[in-house]
Amino acid sequence: MAEAIASGIESKHVDAKAISFYDVKLEDLYEADAIAVGSSTFYYRMLQPMEKFMDETLASTNPKGKIGVAFGSYGWSGEAPIMIAEKMRDMGMTVIDPVLRILHKPTDKDLQECKRLGVDIAEKLKHRSSKTPQPQGAPS
């Protein structure tokens, strides 16, 4: 799912990286303008290692103002992406709604939905950067 989202972002000529949260570096989080986080749902919650990542690693970067995206797969209930989005909002991130929830293993159609989400992320980033004030004397 993460790779399909990154592919959608890149299709709009915006740089993106799909990185496991185990491998992400703090510098990647500081430099990112948007952060997409996914988890499957297990016993009505996000996976414990993902919750620790959200509460400790991501929170430590003070991501306030960044675009946040939550996604995940589920078998029964699907709460994890909703919980991720809530944590992102609590950190001051601007969350793209609705969160993306996929039942079971993603199908080709589901992966197309992931790519569409990536396109939405890229468009929001481009729209945001077009509103960024230019320094005086800088070409716009």
What confidence category does residue 130 fall into, taking pLDDT thresholds of 50, 70 and 90? confident
Determine how many CB atoms are found less than 10 A away from the CB of residue 30. Answer: 11
Q: CA separation (Å) from 20 to 25, 28, 42, 53, 55?
A: 10, 12, 18, 11, 16
Q: What is the per-residue pLDDT for 132?
A: 52
pTM here? 0.88
User: H or E element: which one contains 74?
Assistant: strand 67-74
Indicate the class that CATH gives domain 1-123.
alpha beta
pLDDT in tens, 28-44: 999 999 999 999 999 89
Average pLDDT over residues 122-138: 70
pLDDT in tens, 1-11: 999 999 999 99
Question: 134 pLDDT exceeds 60?
Answer: no
Show me where the domains of the chain are located. 1-123
Neighbours of 88 (CB within 10 A): 25
